[in-house]
Amino acid sequence: MPVKKAVIPAAGLGTRFLPVTKSVPKELLPILDRPMLQYVVEEAAEGGIEEVIIVTAPGKEGIASYFQPSPALERRLTENGEKGLLDKVLHASRIARVSFVIQEEALGLGHAVLTAREAVGDEPFVVILPDDIVHHTPGVVAQMTAIFDRTQAGVVAVEPMPWETVHNYGVVDAVPVSHPDLAASHPALVEERGLHQIRGLVEKPPREEAPSNLSIVGRYILPPEVFDCLERTPPGAKGEIQLTDAMLMLLESAKLYAYEFQGIRYDGGQPLGLLRASLEYALRRDDTRAAVREMLRGIHIE
């Protein structure tokens, strides 16, 4: 069964971006001129996803508005002959079929995913965190659905991080599928670069206890059985229901793979990560590259 639905949790408090996130949803903060959320919805659509379910929260109504038509603005742009701008505005509401569910209280990423249970139904789905932005074509969702098509098992995106930073991340205990112990049971997968079979998951381990430096990044393809695990997951750190705890439970009855994705990742969950993403995306874009280079050359601050 192919992956056709994506869940994008966007109901968090965004505390690392306070005070702006007092009134502006973090997920709508822009990389240059488009919200982070748009980049991940585009990545989902490119990866073959037909329906995107965004989890939002009371007070974050701007998220739904962004993906809905805006008749007054569209009329004005049409009257003024602003075809380029009109196309950009219309594009946002046409990228994919988008629906919304509300997480009444920010009780954790796992809880946000569980909120989407009814909308997902009984099929595999991909979870995309909108503050992990990855530059690559094809995008990470397309890379991961290609793997899922071959494994029909859960796939989690991972990235090797410097060992001295592993205590900040969720880390996998995993064996490369090309490893001699696994190769015999995975003949069709041994050639798959960067693919590992997960044996365990640890949240924020001290460096000396970390089973690897492969940290979990915000893309997960999960089977619907994860919802039963989430229902049974008690609140963990900070009273939140953690997705990694539910995945650990899932491992008892299902295979999960870790996949080292191709691409450059930006941490859009904190201000400097988003600033870096904006600069690098602007340096890549034909319409902004020259002006940004010029701007950077002109900055001399002691």
Q: Which of 129, 171, 250, 258 binds ligand UTP (CB under 6 A)?
A: 129
Residue span binding ligand UTP (CB under 6 A) among the ranges 86-94, 126-134, 199-207, 228-236: 126-134
Residue span binding ligand UTP (CB under 6 A) among the ranges 68-76, 108-116, 253-261, 288-296: 108-116
Distance CA 220, CA 141 (A): 9
Give residues with Cβ within 8 angstroms of 301, minimum separation 6: none
Q: Which of 24, 64, 86, 106 binds ligand UTP (CB under 6 A)?
A: 106
Q: Say if CB 65 and CB 98 are below 8 A apart.
A: no
In the complex with ligand UTP, the residue whose CB is nearer, 129 or 292, is 129
Which residue's beta carbon is nearest to the bound ligand UTP? 12
In the complex with ligand UTP, the residue whose CB is nearer, 260 or 267, is 267
Tokens of 210: 């970390």
**Using rule CB under 6 A, residue 198 touches ligand UTP:** no
Distance CA 61, CA 76 (A): 23
Q: Say if CB 36 and CB 133 are below 8 A apart.
A: yes
Neighbours of 81 (CB within 10 A): 9
Nearest to 133 by CA among 266, 301, 294, 238: 266
Q: What is the maximum alpha-carbon separation in the chain?
A: 67
Q: How far is the CB of 110 from ligand UTP (least distance, A)?
A: 8
Residue span binding ligand UTP (CB under 6 A) among the ranges 125-133, 185-193, 230-238, 255-263: 125-133
**Using rule CB under 6 A, residue 109 touches ligand UTP:** yes
Residues interacting with ligand UTP, by CB under 6 A?
9-16, 26-27, 55, 103, 106-109, 111-112, 129-131, 269
